Each structure stands twice: as C-alpha cells, then as structure tokens.
C-alpha cells in the first residue's frame, strides 16, 4: 500500500550511492534526517546507476503508479551529458517526466547537474541551461548543481572524479536540503 507521504527519488548513480555502501548515500542520510526531525515521509529510492533521461522516462509511469508520491526528486541527465546525447532530447524527456509527475499529483524538485568542460563550451552551456529553463517553465524549485560543495574537492570525490565518496555525501544532502525542506509538511 502506498503512503500519501512518500518522496520518490528518481535519479542515476548520484542518487543510487554508486561506489559506496547504500547507507552512506545522500538518500539514506535524508531518510535519517526525516525520521529524526519527525517529518513522517517514507523515501523510495528508484535511482538506477547509468540511467539516462530516456530510460527514466520509460520507468517513471510505473514508479508513479506504484508509489503514488507526494514529492518527486528528479535527478537525471548526467549520463545523457556524459554520453554526449542531444540536449534537446534531455529537455524533452525531463519535461515529460515533470508533466507525468505533476499529473500524478506530485510536486517536483528538479536537480541540476553539470558535465565536464571537455565536451566543449557550447554543449556544456546548453546542457547546463536545460535545468533552469525547465524550472522556470514548470515553476519548479531547482537545486542548481547537486555536486556544488563536492565536485572540486578531491577529498570528497571517488577516484573517478564523478561520484561523491562517503565523506562527500553529507555535503550533497546539505546542497539539496534547502530546496526540499519547503516542500515538506510535518
């Protein structure tokens, strides 16, 4: 039975605790914070490492039906960027996921991500602009860059330079929390 107090985290490896123990990831830390502060939400982490926006779009309708979330934390796009997929496809897929989530009665927190500059200035800028454009179009709260406090700190990143390590995950949560908290009800 689905709870009316469910947060669906729908992302990729950045939300799936890639390379670390699941309990060390920001989603598990969020679950602990919500319990400690008595918010009364359950978290469903439907994140899949390697997921693209097109793969997410295919999976989302079932996840919405199954979990009936009040809030969807939408954290996808990084793998689209790392594969150099068309920015127009990313924009369309994320927009469709926002529309599906809203039609299901959920509020959406859009999570921005950036790609490394080695993809060229034009692609990098177009990619980064998708998230604020969608947030404006759909009147969504936006986490500007999920890895803001860790991406340039090697002590908080795994050897791959892409994923936070266990020491970085609390900072990832601190980046997201100010945008999620206003959506929560006690």
Measured in whole angstroms, the distance separating CA 182 from the mean position of its chain's CA atoms is 17
Which pair of tokens denotes residue 30? 């969020």
Query: Helix 87-103 and helix 121-138: axis angle, to 10°?
Result: 20
Query: Which residue among 47, 53, 67, 163 is the active-site one?
Result: 163
Buried/exposed code over 133-144 (b: 16+ C-beta within 10 A; e: otherwise): ebbeebebbbbb
Query: Which residue among 12, 13, 80, 101 is the active-site one?
Result: 13
CB-CB contact of 56 with 15 (8 Å): no
Residue 13 among the catalytic residues = yes
CA dist 65 → 32, 98, 109, 148, 171 (Å): 25, 15, 18, 32, 32
β-partners of residue 111 are 143
Could you give the CA distance from residue 8 to residue 30 in angstroms, rounded to a whole number? 12
CB-CB contact of 24 with 17 (8 Å): yes
Residue 139 among the catalytic residues = no
Residue 54 among the catalytic residues = no
Query: Which residue among 4, 139, 155, 160 is the active-site one?
Result: 160
Q: Which residues are catalytic?
A: 13, 160, 163
């Amino acid at each position: 039975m689905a709870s009316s107090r469910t947060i669906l985290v729908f992302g990729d490896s950045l939300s799936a605790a890639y390379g670390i123990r699941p309990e060390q990831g920001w989603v598990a830390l969020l679950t602990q914070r919500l319990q400690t502060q008595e918010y009364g939400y359950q978290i469903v982490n439907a994140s899949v490492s390697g997921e693209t926006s097109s793969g997410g779009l295919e999976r989302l309708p079932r996840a919405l039906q199954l979990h009936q979330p009040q809030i969807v934390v939408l954290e996808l796009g990084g793998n689209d960027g790392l594969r150099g997929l068309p920015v127009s496809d990313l924009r369309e897929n994320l927009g469709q996921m926002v529309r599906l989530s809203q039609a299901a009665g959920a509020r959406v927190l859009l999570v921005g991500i950036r790609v490394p500059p080695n993809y060229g200035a034009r692609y990098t800028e177009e990619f980064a602009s998708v998230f604020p454009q969608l947030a404006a179009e759909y009147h969504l709260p936006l986490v500007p860059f999920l890895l803001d406090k860790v991406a340039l700190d090697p002590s908080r990143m795994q050897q791959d330079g892409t994923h936070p390590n266990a020491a970085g995950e609390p900072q990832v949560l601190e980046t997201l929390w100010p945008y999620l908290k206003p959506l929560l009800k006690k």
